A and B are shown apart, each in its own frame.
Chain A
Amino acid sequence: MDAPEAPLPPVIYTMENKPIVTCAGDQNLFTSIYPTLSQQLPREPMEWRRSYGRAPKMIHLESNFVQFKEELLPKDGNKALLTFPFLHIYWTECCDTEVYKATVKDDLTKWQNVLKAHSSVDWLIVVVENDAKKKNKTNILPRTSIVDKIRNDFCNKQSDRCVVLSDPLKDSSRTQESWNAFLTKLRTSLLMSFTKNLGKFEDDMRTLREKRTEPGWSFCDYFMVQEELAFVFEMLQQFEDALVQYDELDALFSQYVVNFGAGDGANWLTFFCQPVKSWNGLILRKPIDMEKRELIQRQEATLLDLRSYLFSRQCTLLLFLQRPWEVAQRALELLHGCVQELKLLEVSVPPGALDCWVFLSCLEVLQRIEGCCDRAQIDSNIAHTVGLWSYATEKLKSLGYLCGLVSEKGPDSEDLNRTVDLLAGLGAERPETANTAQSPYKKLKEALSSVEAFEKHYLDLSHAAIEMHTSIGRLRSAKFVGKDLAEFYMRKKSPQKAEVYLQGALKNYLAEGWALPITHTRKQLAECQKHLGQTENYLQTSSLLASDHHLTEDERKHFCREILSFASRQTDSPGQKIVLPLHCFAQLRDLHFTPSNAVVHVGGVLSVEITLCSQMPMPVQVEQVTINVHFSIDKNNYRKTAEWLTKHKTSNGTINFPTETSPLPAPQNNLPALELYEMFERSPSDNSLNTTGIICKNVHMLLRRQESSTSLETSSGVALEDGAHVLKCSGVTLEPGANRITFRTQAREPGTYTLRQLCASVGPVRFVLPHLYPPVQYDVYSQEPQLRVEPLADSLLAGIPQKVKFTVTTGHYTVKNGDSLQLSNAEAMLILCHAENRAVIYSNTRAPVTGGESSVLGMTESHRKHKDTQKAGQCMATTDHKVSIDCPWSIYSTVIALTFSVPFRTTHSLLSAGTRKYIQVCVQNLSELDFELSDGHLVDPDSNADLRLVPLNAKSPQTLYNVRAEILPPSGTEHCRTGSLCSLEVSITRLSDLLEVDKDEALTESDEYFSTKLMYEVVDNSSNWAVCGKSSGVISMPVAARATHRVHMEVMPLFAGYLPLPDVRLFKYLPHHSAHSSQLDADSWIESDGLSVDKHVDEQPDGGGGRCRGSAHLASGGEHRGLPMPRLQALPPGQVFNASVGTQVLVIPSKDDHVLEVSVT
């Protein structure tokens, strides 16, 4: 927030402390070496092996080198770690034995004694060698001798305590080597000292902690000890370890508070229970808040002081560790925790003080985080900070309410006093933020200074919170903050601003079906709408609330009265109507017709009884209940006849309506049910199943966007229908619960009446049910007799005789003997009457009136068969012919138009080739009927002798017989099996009547019926089948079109697989002598039953029996006759059509006798 004022990079406050190393001996020497030393020491990291199984760490060492003084050594009992000298170094460049003996040795001894006195064992003696210096001296000893002497004198068995540093200020490889060795030694010594001294410190600290149950134990003292450790870790840049120390302190304190709450109080804790007098919030801008630290040290800190200090340290360390989002998260926990702890400890807190503290703290944390992160980081981590924003908003809101800043009148004197007290508790602004314009302190002070300032700050915060919630998809949270904002606006008497938030929240609750929030928000919305003067919306909301069972009876009555009082107020000025949906006022349960089939004749009385369930908590006087009725005359007259109606209408008469959307429309109610269907996809070639699955047929309904589909609270735009047909019921009092209302109407025009809208009027208020679903209809029928004429087929064709059906619905007319229908028709349409044609009256006993039917027109109808759709699709020309019919019940003639389609299209063309002319005539059949074109010839009407017409139509070879064979598996089985008998059905069909080619010896005639002798033979050349019993026979075939002869035989498949059917051959059977023909005819083994095939089958249901008999006769027949040998003549090509050539039948291996050959390699 203070970014505009301070555009500096984020400052990380580091501790200035470094571990102390003392230097004794030659100070000038050290001064010369110090620059190199302090630069080189932190250059390389060193592995620090830790006690207590803690993971080793790489650490860059730095030190604060100070001159050795005895005062620096800690006295007994001083636990300070920060000022503790971890290492003592004695520096000398002595190379002269005499000098050594004279001064250095004594100095060293003195130094050693001081160290021993303080039991300090971390020391090092550095002997610096200087070649230049050596050369100047006269009594030079080898370099080693001084070192050896020192080692001998002081380093008892610890020769490595004395280190040599050669030519430290030169730039040579020897110098480098020497430095490296020295630095390693120095680092190792330092780390050893850390390990040892910190370990000892930690042990002492633990001991102290274990004493915490002792009476005199003080948390603050312990706090200082453990914090010392934290400081050292921080000093060593071990922030993680430092944080652990504070977290342990945090947890320890929290546990004490919890225990205190459980009745197990520690004495020292009572001090933290002193009343809260200052609430100036967290301070996070300094690495260490010394002011608060001193309070803790002096044991004068309050709970908030301690918590604030502890958190500020944790925050600092977390920021060092670059974990700003954890700061935000921990801050929220801390603030909640403090509020809880104060409650638990029963600390007296002035009202609003904590709100101030939390508000300031939230903003402080947010500003601190903003200070060390850039905008992009902040934007992508809103989820972490939004909690603090909301919390601050919430707190500012309650402060506003507390200080009278939200009321319309502004704060009163009491409010002002409270504000003054609260501001006093803030104290003066801290110097760190004094120059920051947007500091939390200034914000709070300003917000509490005036109604306007508060509004500004509160709106800023709320909008920021809503925006942040929305941006990370927390829509519910955004709506919730919005509701607070709406409440604020309502208090400020700005309902127009509140409405949008309430509507938004309500929509969300409705969509997710949360009943109590719906009710509550609706109540707020009702108030808002009332203030805004949105009459219609207010009344609608009121009706919803009046029917809401989550409200108390009184509240519901209040809202009900609101509607009624509005209604009564408006009766004097008949102006606008207010249309509201019915379902929240009353619900339609069921509807019952009398008569129960809802069919009534013209002039009859129909009553409709409905059950309306009033949702109102009290009786409501309704002026009128109306049902709007839509009238339609059905085009299909027949559908409206009494006969049809009685047949098709269910007679129960009660229609139940599904209970309207319950008071809370849970979203699942709005969704249509899944419509699932099985789906099979078969291969087009062999019809085998390719895929199967389930498909949903109403995906488009289910997957459409939900958001816009439900706008429930806005006025539903119910249109009030104004129809001529209305059922009315006046002066109804609707009691709470079920009410029965009866409507009566006298049927007038015949037709269908559909009940459309139900409307209840209370003054100018109309409660409307816009659509009745399921649809409800009643029918009124006319009793006049009716005549209908319709073809028996789909359409009439011109030029061929067809049947037409007359249907008379007599209605009230009674058919008398001798009544007739007189038809007068156009000349172009002939009525073909059979000599004895009389109408037959079929009376419909079920109907209350008699209907009659008779066939008047017509002759045989042609064989009809489906043709290619292509053909049917072509349009046929039509002509209409009118028939005028005089009916006995009317003086007027009934004129009926019959439409005939012309079935043919004829085209002709004249073609030339040289001097010849060709005339081509095409006749195309457009109808679905088969026509046979025969004897086509052209006629010259003028009989011109010069014109010779030669027909070019070649006679097509005539197919006489159609042979169809079929093999059927034994009854009861699905497939044929090898080795088991199957039946072979052969049917031979004659396709034409007697033709020229039939006139031969085989033709016989008796009683104008011709028949010819044929021999059939079943042959299987491929030896797939064994024909059992008779394989051939002679039949007498009637020479007439469609005459069929069926032959039944037994065959046995010899192999498995798809086997081709055996051949069926047909021969002309020419008797040796014509005299034998009759004899043969009578012979029983010839199956001469002609057309009566079924009969034949019936007589011989057992195929096996037939076969035996057949074979026996064949043998005896040959024996009996002996001499006359008939002749066989092949039928010319084209005369026989084998319909089943190429077909195959599946034969599966029989179960019991298969041999499976398996070769194993």
Chain B
Amino acid sequence: MNYPLYIRSAPTENELKFHYMVHTSLDVVDEKISAMGKALVDQRELYLGLLYPTEDYKVYGYVTNSKVKFVMVVDSSNTALRDNEIRSMFRKLHNSYTDVMCNPFYNPGDRIQSRAFDSMVTSMMIQVC
């Protein structure tokens, strides 16, 4: 499934561009997942690394064991974000997503409207910018 559960961009002016970018990047996510398919589940690295670079942005990917995908687009000029920072951001996202899933009132597959998740994303975005 490749429908968006949650999508946020800051600033919001170029939201559409990012939506297109994230959607297109799913091609590479799919490619990486199917290449990874042979690896044993417990050895599998969830972080997919740089999906593809564009002139202005870097697109990173991460996939949970249940194939929920996280995609992050960051400004290329933001040199403070190295692989390790990106990894830890993904881990944070994953943890928060797990919390969302643990909510008995959340229907898996629904759009995420959790305020906790939202504020976590907001804080992460503020930290980065």
Does A514 sit within 8 A of B, measured CB to CB?
yes
Does B85 sit within 8 A of A, measured CB to CB?
no
B109: chain A residues at CB < 8 Å are 668
- With contacts A344-B77, A383-B31, A513-B4 taken as known, whether A477 is within 8 angstroms of B16 at the C-beta atoms is no
Q: Are A480 and B77 in contact (CB under 8 A)?
A: no
Does B103 sit within 8 A of A, measured CB to CB?
no
- With contacts A476-B24, A509-B23, A516-B16 taken as known, whether A667 is within 8 angstroms of B53 at the C-beta atoms is no
Per-residue interface assignment for chain A, residues 240 to 271, with 1 indicating a CB less than 8 Å from any chain B CB and 0 otherwise: 00000000000000000010011000000000
Per-residue interface assignment for chain A, residues 506 to 540, with 1 indicating a CB less than 8 Å from any chain B CB and 0 otherwise: 00010011111100100000000000000000000
Q: Are A477 and B55 in contact (CB under 8 A)?
A: no
Q: Are B15 and A516 in contact (CB under 8 A)?
A: yes
B15: chain A residues at CB < 8 Å are 516
Q: Are A336 and B79 in contact (CB under 8 A)?
A: no
B119 to chain A, nearest CB (A): 22
Q: Are B54 and A336 in contact (CB under 8 A)?
A: yes
Does B65 sit within 8 A of A, measured CB to CB?
no
How many angstroms from the CA of A332 to the CA of B1 in the assembled complex?
A: 30
Pick the most buried of B24, B53, B56: most chain A CB atoms within 10 A of its CB. Answer: B24
Does A339 sit within 8 A of B, measured CB to CB?
yes
Closest to A514 in B: B23
Does A474 sit within 8 A of B, measured CB to CB?
yes
Q: Are A387 and B3 in contact (CB under 8 A)?
A: no
A333: chain B residues at CB < 8 Å are 53
Closest to A262 in B: B79
Per-residue interface assignment for chain A, residues 381 to 399, with 1 indicating a CB less than 8 Å from any chain B CB and 0 otherwise: 0010001000000000000
How many angstroms from the CA of A515 to the CA of B20 in the assembled complex?
A: 10
Q: Are A476 and B1 in contact (CB under 8 A)?
A: no
B15 to chain A, nearest CB (A): 6
A1072 to chain B, nearest CB (A): 83
B123 to chain A, nearest CB (A): 24
Interface residues of A in 477-518 (CB under 8 A from B): 477, 480, 509, 512-517
Does A475 sit within 8 A of B, measured CB to CB?
yes
Does A848 sit within 8 A of B, measured CB to CB?
no
Closest to A666 in B: B3
Does A343 sit within 8 A of B, measured CB to CB?
yes
Does A340 sit within 8 A of B, measured CB to CB?
yes
How many angstroms from the CA of A666 to the CA of B1 in the assembled complex?
A: 10
Q: Are A332 and B3 in contact (CB under 8 A)?
A: no
How many angstroms from the CA of A383 to the CA of B26 in the assembled complex?
A: 14
B16: chain A residues at CB < 8 Å are 516-517, 520
B55: chain A residues at CB < 8 Å are 335-336, 339-340
Interface residues of A in 861-906 (CB under 8 A from B): none
A226 to chain B, nearest CB (A): 24
Does B106 sit within 8 A of A, measured CB to CB?
no
Pick the most buried of A335, A476, A509, A666: most chain B CB atoms within 10 A of its CB. Answer: A476
Interface residues of A in 395-452 (CB under 8 A from B): none
Does A473 sit within 8 A of B, measured CB to CB?
yes
Q: Are A476 and B23 in contact (CB under 8 A)?
A: yes
Interface residues of B in 21-42 (CB under 8 A from A): 23-24, 26-28, 30-31
A473: chain B residues at CB < 8 Å are 27, 30-31
- Which listed residue (A474, A477, A512, A520) contacts B3, Cβ 8 A? A512
Q: Are B24 and A261 in contact (CB under 8 A)?
A: no
B6: chain A residues at CB < 8 Å are none
Interface residues of A in 131-169 (CB under 8 A from B): none
Closest to A509 in B: B23
Q: Are B27 and A475 in contact (CB under 8 A)?
A: yes
Q: Are A336 and B53 in contact (CB under 8 A)?
A: yes
Majority-rule SS of A interface residues? helix
- With contacts A477-B24, A666-B3, A667-B3 taken as known, whether A517 is within 8 angstroms of B76 at the C-beta atoms is no
B5 to chain A, nearest CB (A): 10
B16 to chain A, nearest CB (A): 5
Q: Are B52 and A387 in contact (CB under 8 A)?
A: yes
How many angstroms from the CA of A332 to the CA of B77 in the assembled complex?
A: 16
Interface residues of A in 728-755 (CB under 8 A from B): none
A329 to chain B, nearest CB (A): 10
B54: chain A residues at CB < 8 Å are 336
B2: chain A residues at CB < 8 Å are 512
Per-residue interface assignment for chain A, residues 448 to 478, with 1 indicating a CB less than 8 Å from any chain B CB and 0 otherwise: 0000000000000000000001001111110
How many angstroms from the CA of A344 to the CA of B79 in the assembled complex?
A: 11
How many angstroms from the CA of A666 to the CA of B79 in the assembled complex?
A: 36
How many angstroms from the CA of A258 to the CA of B81 in the assembled complex?
A: 12
Closest to B21 in A: A480
Does B91 sit within 8 A of A, measured CB to CB?
no
Interface residues of B in 48-103 (CB under 8 A from A): 52-56, 76-77, 79
A339 to chain B, nearest CB (A): 5
How many angstroms from the CA of A520 to the CA of B28 in the assembled complex?
A: 23
How many angstroms from the CA of A340 to the CA of B79 in the assembled complex?
A: 11
Does B19 sit within 8 A of A, measured CB to CB?
yes
How many angstroms from the CA of A475 to the CA of B30 in the assembled complex?
A: 11
Q: Are B20 and A480 in contact (CB under 8 A)?
A: yes
Closest to B109 in A: A668
B117 to chain A, nearest CB (A): 18
Closest to A387 in B: B52
Closest to A667 in B: B3
- With contacts A336-B54, A340-B77, A668-B109 taken as known, whether A474 is within 8 angstroms of B31 at the C-beta atoms is yes
How many angstroms from the CA of A334 to the CA of B56 in the assembled complex?
A: 13
A339: chain B residues at CB < 8 Å are 55
A672 to chain B, nearest CB (A): 14
A549 to chain B, nearest CB (A): 14
- Which listed residue (B3, B19, B53, B79) contacts A261, Cβ 8 A? B79
B41 to chain A, nearest CB (A): 23
- With contacts A333-B53, A339-B55, A667-B1 taken as known, whether A517 is within 8 angstroms of B27 at the C-beta atoms is no
Q: Are B4 and A514 in contact (CB under 8 A)?
A: yes
Closest to B19 in A: A516
Closest to A340 in B: B76
How many angstroms from the CA of A336 to the CA of B77 in the assembled complex?
A: 11
B57 to chain A, nearest CB (A): 9
How many angstroms from the CA of A515 to the CA of B16 in the assembled complex?
A: 9
Pick the most buried of A387, A472, A666: most chain B CB atoms within 10 A of its CB. Answer: A666
Q: Are A332 and B26 in contact (CB under 8 A)?
A: no
A252 to chain B, nearest CB (A): 15
A336: chain B residues at CB < 8 Å are 53-55, 76
How many angstroms from the CA of A514 to the CA of B19 in the assembled complex?
A: 8
B79: chain A residues at CB < 8 Å are 258, 261-262
Q: Are A332 and B53 in contact (CB under 8 A)?
A: yes
How many angstroms from the CA of A514 to the CA of B20 in the assembled complex?
A: 9
B30 to chain A, nearest CB (A): 7
Per-residue interface assignment for chain A, residues 1057 to 1075, with 1 indicating a CB less than 8 Å from any chain B CB and 0 otherwise: 0000000000000000000
- Which listed residue (A344, A474, A514) contacts B27, Cβ 8 A? A474
How many angstroms from the CA of A667 to the CA of B55 in the assembled complex?
A: 32
B80 to chain A, nearest CB (A): 9
How many angstroms from the CA of A666 to the CA of B3 in the assembled complex?
A: 7
B31: chain A residues at CB < 8 Å are 383, 472-474
How many angstroms from the CA of A473 to the CA of B26 in the assembled complex?
A: 11
Closest to A469 in B: B27
Closest to A383 in B: B31
- Beyond contacts A512-B23, A667-B3: 10 other A-B pairs, Cβ-Cβ < 8 A, are A340-B55, A344-B77, A469-B27, A473-B30, A474-B27, A475-B27, A476-B23, A513-B3, A520-B16, A667-B1
Between A and B, 25 residue pairs with Cβ closer than 8 Å are A262-B79, A335-B55, A336-B53, A340-B55, A340-B56, A340-B76, A344-B77, A473-B30, A473-B31, A480-B20, A480-B23, A512-B2, A512-B23, A513-B3, A514-B3, A514-B23, A515-B4, A515-B19, A516-B15, A516-B16, A517-B16, A666-B3, A667-B1, A668-B1, A668-B3
**Chain A to chain B: the 4 pairs with minimum beta-carbon distance, closest first:** A513-B3, A474-B27, A516-B19, A512-B2
Please give the residue numbers on chain B whose beta carbons come within 8 Å of chain A beta carbons, in ascending order.
1-4, 15-16, 19-20, 23-24, 26-28, 30-31, 52-56, 76-77, 79, 109
Please give the residue numbers on chain A whose beta carbons come within 8 Å of chain B beta carbons, in ascending order.
258, 261-262, 332-333, 335-336, 339-340, 343-344, 383, 387, 469, 472-477, 480, 509, 512-517, 520, 666-668
